[in-house]
Structure 1
Amino acid sequence: MKLAGLAFAGPAAAAQILEAAAAEVMEFTQQAEATSLGSGTLDHLDLAVTEFNHAYSLKPPKAVFDAVLDYRRKVDRFLKDDHTHRQERDLRAFAGWLSELLAWLAHDLGNARTGLAFATDAFIQGRQAGHGQLCAWAMDAAASINLYEQRPAKAREAALKGLSEAPAGHPLTMRLHAQAARAAAADAEGFTTAFQTAEDAYRLLPPRSPRRFGMDVAPLADYALTSYPATSFIWLGQAEQARQHAEHAFATYEAAPAASWSPSREAIARIDLALAHAQLGDPDDAVALGHQALASARVVDSVRSRAGDLTTFLTRRYPRQAAVEGLRERLAAAVDAARPALTAATPSGA
């Protein structure tokens, strides 16, 4: 109303109105820049998320889960305080990255419901931050968790949802195609076409791969193209194909640089190889590989789950093998040992 009065005001009154408007605009600007975040907060969060991602495969999942959850709660408090629009986008992205990591950690600790809840949160935070790649990583986690929960249709749905957000020519895109292929194998439908798409995406990757929190993500594509088909061919009952891919996967893990080495993925490769040997009529090698997998430095829930598949198959196929019972007992001890950590790692209300 004041500015509308300029058309009818005299020179002195008009000048007064404009001066008042200038002061008002200054308030608008101050409000746009108002923030309660300390000057180094975002840098600190960036460093923390990077360190957590480096610690993921090296430290016990329960210890990492607790530390990451503490930071996720801190970011939630920051989002409720005063901050600029740009800072909100950054905070949403950090919230999403923390939730994506918590999804994997909850999965490692055996709580699929919590893992999927965090994967969903990571996707939503990524959407709010305008961060498509974060959304795609979140759905990669959701696809894996759903597969281990024997929900292949949900796993494929998550993989396709991630592909809609994944950047072209990125190893993550190839990995999500491989997830979709693995889900198709679990359903025994459409695997060949889906896996061919993953192989095509792999061949189109650029010579220099992007980095994620300082780590090269290309090995994740290599793992997906070897380990995922090994599991898929086991589910499809094609033992010789499974053996070849499992051996390739195992060699890929052994040759991985220290920064991207994953003892849990290596253990799963051993179990895939064990299952292939079991299907091919070699229970002794299968049991030996099963013991090696359970001796891993990181026996998380996915390892225990796949070891359960192995012992179930061996018990059914070779019911009189004493060595099989020994592997079952070792797995049962590993499951019992994991229960306290699983109970303690579930946040209230998750």
Structure 2
Amino acid sequence: MPAANDLLRSARERTPSRRAPGEYMSRVELAETVCAWLWETTEVRYELDGHYIAKLERGAVRWPGAAYRSGLRYVLNVASDNELGFLPPPGAPAGELELVPPSTIGFDEEVGLAGDESIALLTFAEESNVGDLTVEQLHADIERISQLYLRTATKPLFERSRAVRDRAFVLLAGRQSPKQSRDLYAAAGWAITLLAWMSVDLGHPEVAESHARTAWACAEAADHNELRGWIRATQHTAAFWQDEFDRAADHAQHGLRYATGTSRLFLTSALAVDLARSGRVAEARAALAAAQEVPCTPSIPELGGPLLCTPERAEGFWADAQLTLGDAKATLVHADRSVARFEARPHALRNPGSERMVRLQQVKAHLTLGELDGAIAALEPVFATSLEYRVRPLIHRMGEVAAMTAPYTRVARARQLRERIREFIYRPDLPGRQLDHRPQPLIAKES
């Protein structure tokens, strides 16, 4: 585990909040203040967020980009990078890539607005118990959206999910039987859960949490346990991508009280990763062993897409847990088996988003084992990802892969790899080009 950056955290905690008198700046407020200052001084919009501040404070990134360092020095009122614990890595290019996901360009306002709308419906969801129309079409729409997820551009699916949510609440304003009311609340809850999941992928996990609270109220009104399980799975995911691993673990553990379908496999597997990331090694190993005993066959009808945990998706979690626990060989075993299962799936049942993330586990395991050629080969299919599917979690993982190539910076193929990752993140308009990943000896003096 990297050493925490106590200097940065201390600087933040001695900086008064501009929003809450008597308190210090939160990570989110610090990130937003830096972005505001950068906009005022450069007229360039940056995507710094609380998640990245958390990475800096954990010491996962020791040398952020020049613009971020400048903004942090200004807001935290220090004269040098050293005062914030920032040190350039010796002999390596300065800084991890600053992550600006192309998939969110021009869509931030709509994502935030949808979250605000779900908050506004929270009171209604908690209090209303009326309605009178059939929900068969609403549930069919939800199933279709879920199955198309990550195989169709996110924006139209986001808008369709919001339309299902709104239609369900309109119907609930009428009169209906108690069973119809529960069905309508379930439809609304599933639609809002999909909105929450999409919000995470679009780089707004904090908005996802707003959706999830209203979705939970709907699940309570519908008394729907599997919906409760997937809501907790979604909340786990939102917390995970904010580096709040203990909170993610809490959500996973609470969701297991309700999970009856493949959400149980998802939550048990995700819990192993959360515990490993939190440094709770013994608990993580126990959770990993438990996850591998959970039945993989759905026992109830499942929506599909992000709301279905197949064996290959679960094994991707196991690979992530093993890598965090320091066992790169076991990581590669799980990741290779997961990718093989994904490739064997019929196209209509394949989850390409999860598959890409597992391929990045393959890449990280190869790099950890010193196998640059294997890493390059495993990364090739990810480079083919179309712009509309380059969601924020994928971009974050690509940045982590770039950081892991630092030990190979004297190797020409590694420098090519870093440049191609940069193009993937920043220049998706460039034509793709393949790297030469034929087996070659790693020679430290290669230039």
TM-score normalised by structure 1 residue count? 0.77
Alignment equivalent of 1:97, drawn from 190, 200, 206: 190
Is 1:212 equivalent to 2:312 in the alignment? no
CA distance in 2, matches of 1:312, 1:249: 24
Q: Contact between 2:235 and 2:248, CA under 8 Å: does it hold in 1?
A: yes
CA distance in 2, matches of 1:141, 1:334: 30
| Paired residue secondary structure (1:311) | helix
Please report the RMSD computed on the Cα atoms of aligned residues, expressed in angstroms.
Answer: 2.6
Is 1:182 equivalent to 2:273 in the alignment? yes
| Paired residue secondary structure (1:277) | helix
CA distance in 1, matches of 2:429, 2:199: 17
Is 1:82 equivalent to 2:171 in the alignment? no
Give the corresponding residue for 1:195.
288
Is 1:308 equivalent to 2:399 in the alignment? yes
1:92 alignment partner AA = Y
CA distance in 1, matches of 2:212, 2:348: 24
CA distance in 1, matches of 2:130, 2:249: 41
Between Structure 1 and Structure 2, the one with more helix by share is: 1
Alignment equivalent of 2:338, drawn from 224, 249, 266: 249
How much does 1:247 deviate? Answer: 0.5
CA distance in 2, matches of 1:70, 1:335: 31
Q: Contact between 2:149 and 2:306, CA under 8 Å: does it hold in 1?
A: no
Deviations along 1:205-240, one digit per CA (max 9) or x if unpaired, are: 6x6743213x59997240343100111122222211
CA distance in 2, matches of 1:85, 1:36: 8
Is 1:272 equivalent to 2:361 in the alignment? yes
How much does 1:333 deviate? Answer: 1.9
Alignment equivalent of 2:242, drawn from 122, 142, 149: 149
Deviations along 1:18-46, one digit per CA (max 9) or x if unpaired, are: xxxxxxxxxxxxxxxx98745xx412212
| Paired residue secondary structure (1:63) | helix
Is 1:317 equivalent to 2:410 in the alignment? no
Deviations along 1:230-288, one digit per CA (max 9) or x if unpaired, are: 11122222211111111111111111233320111111111110001111112243234
Instruction: Identify which range, 106-115 or 273-282, moves more after superposition.
Output: 106-115
Q: Contact between 2:147 and 2:305, CA under 8 Å: does it hold in 1?
A: no
Give the corresponding residue for 1:222.
311
Give the corresponding residue for 1:70.
163
Is 1:121 equivalent to 2:211 in the alignment? no
Q: Contact between 1:264 and 1:296, CA under 8 Å: does it hold in 2?
A: no
**Where do 5+ consecutive residues of structure 1 fail to align?**
1-33, 338-350
Alignment equivalent of 1:57, drawn from 142, 145, 150: 150
Give the corresponding residue for 2:229.
136
CA distance in 1, matches of 2:380, 2:205: 25
Residues 99/196 of structure 1: CA separation in 2 closer, same or farther (3 Å cut):
same
CA distance in 2, matches of 1:289, 1:85: 52
Is 1:236 equivalent to 2:325 in the alignment? yes
Q: Contact between 2:146 and 2:305, CA under 8 Å: does it hold in 1?
A: no
CA distance in 1, matches of 2:306, 2:204: 26
Q: Contact between 2:131 and 2:172, CA under 8 Å: does it hold in 1?
A: no
Alignment equivalent of 1:289, drawn from 344, 364, 378: 378
Q: Contact between 1:181 and 1:192, CA under 8 Å: does it hold in 2?
A: yes
1:102 alignment partner AA = L
Alignment equivalent of 1:163, drawn from 250, 256, 272: 256
| Paired residue secondary structure (1:201) | coil
| Paired residue secondary structure (2:216) | helix
1:175 alignment partner AA = F
Alignment equivalent of 1:109, drawn from 168, 185, 202: 202
How much does 1:135 deviate? Answer: 0.3
Q: Contact between 1:79 and 1:88, CA under 8 Å: does it hold in 2?
A: yes
CA distance in 2, matches of 1:192, 1:292: 31
| Paired residue secondary structure (1:90) | helix
Q: Contact between 2:253 and 2:267, CA under 8 Å: does it hold in 1?
A: yes
How much does 1:307 deviate? Answer: 1.0
| Paired residue secondary structure (1:83) | coil
Q: Contact between 1:274 and 1:289, CA under 8 Å: does it hold in 2?
A: yes
Residues 276/208 of structure 1: CA separation in 2 closer, same or farther (3 Å cut):
closer
CA distance in 2, matches of 1:60, 1:180: 29
Q: Contact between 2:197 and 2:234, CA under 8 Å: does it hold in 1?
A: yes
CA distance in 1, matches of 2:369, 2:314: 22
CA distance in 1, matches of 2:229, 2:298: 20
CA distance in 2, matches of 1:99, 1:216: 15
| Paired residue secondary structure (2:345) | coil
Q: Contact between 1:99 and 1:121, CA under 8 Å: does it hold in 2?
A: yes
Larger Rg: 1
CA distance in 2, matches of 1:81, 1:229: 46
| Paired residue secondary structure (1:211) | coil
Q: Contact between 2:322 and 2:330, CA under 8 Å: does it hold in 1?
A: yes
Identity %: 23
Q: Contact between 2:146 and 2:306, CA under 8 Å: does it hold in 1?
A: no
